[in-house]
Chain A
């Protein structure tokens, strides 16, 4: 079946630093990848839609200069949280889509101290 991986699974960083999260589709090519953020006991909130070879489409209220998304290939998308602050601490989940469906990664727990 379709497998999506994320790396790292957990990361702790200091305020003001940047963190990169990778999302990979392991056994299929994903035309589109999505990035979600989930705060404790809340729903998944779509941050941006990532298309291979083009600029990401950000949802309203999501700062594109703070959350940099690069979709370099059909199997890899990266999310970089720049100048992270404690309020950026959250569970970040990616998903990858092909014609059959949408598949979620295991998530990355980001803690900014």
Chain B
């Protein structure tokens, strides 16, 4: 089955700097890669996703890149703000039917220092 790895496990950046989180996946059939932000005690919130037919996607300060050949994808947050502090999870899925499982990475705890 699919296995998703994520690095780093913790990340501290100064406010205004950029943050990069990297993930790898094992199943070459995976074609959907969402990223979630989870604040303590809250539900995961989808912040951006990318499908395998696209190499890069951007939404304001957040961007995601995908390298299908190498089976890795990354999240980039620019101009970080204290409210970006949270745990971020990458995930991978073989999208196509409603039965598809989403497998989560272990998470990255991001701290943005004011």
Contacts and interface: CB of A to CB of B under 8 A. Distances in A.
A7 to B, nearest CB: 14
Interface string B17-46: 000000000000000001000000111111
Nearest to B89: A43
Interface in A11-51: 31-32, 34, 41-46, 49, 51
A44 to B, nearest CB: 5
Interface stretch (A65-73, A75-83, A93-101): A93-101
Interface size, A (range): 20 to 34
Interface in B39-56: 41-46
A44 B110 CA distance: 17
User: Size range of the interface on B?
Assistant: 10 to 19
Contacts of B104: 43-46
Contacts of A109: 41
Contacts of B41: 91, 107, 109
A107 B104 CA distance: 16
A101 B44 CA distance: 14
Interface in B60-104: 89, 98-99, 101-104
Interface of B: 34, 41-46, 89, 98-99, 101-107, 109
Given A49-B101, A91-B41, A104-B44, 19 more contacts: A32-B98, A34-B101, A34-B102, A42-B106, A42-B107, A43-B105, A44-B44, A44-B89, A46-B101, A46-B103, A93-B44, A99-B98, A101-B46, A102-B46, A102-B102, A104-B43, A106-B42, A106-B43, A107-B42
